[in-house]
Structure 1
């Protein structure tokens, strides 16, 4: 289980594990099984720092997840890019993102991605 999922609540861990096991049965062990499990997790959870937290509303987290073929669009690395600017700003406050008050929604998404990567790297030390 990825460390970011292991640091998340029990339901997030169960979701990832159940989908991953099913994907392994269907596709075999490997990258595709992990991507499938993360895609399912991102439907109801968003990455906040070094772990995953439940979203207020389930749904696709970015344009790639919303795409029927999942090949087009950008991924937001676990950040719920469909959330309101106010929600993203609140997360930026929690993660102490500098300059957040002047950022657009897209800039907040990018800054949160970077903050999440830093928090995950720090937790792995």
Structure 2
């Protein structure tokens, strides 16, 4: 799904340009966290599934290669690339991630319950 979303934003419909145009498009937003070769391998993973070389992402040779090379799950990484690119390309960096305060709120609720005599 993330691959298709990135394709819809950055892909060039000219023959032979799809992968390269996504690499170029994502480079505007990814900074140094995901260099060109890393993004290229992620897109090869996409290609292996879309073009039928692997029935599932996890069964792709590129999945194993990515894990071995970068030590990260490529699915998590493509999500990270997509988030950064969507924020920049679609929302002009105006959409900011809010801090996750759930643990802090849970602790406060437990503390309040303890003080009030609840379990």
Normalising by structure 2, we get a TM-score of 0.31
Bigger Rg, structure 1 or 2 = 2
More strand by share: 1
Normalising by structure 1, we get a TM-score of 0.30
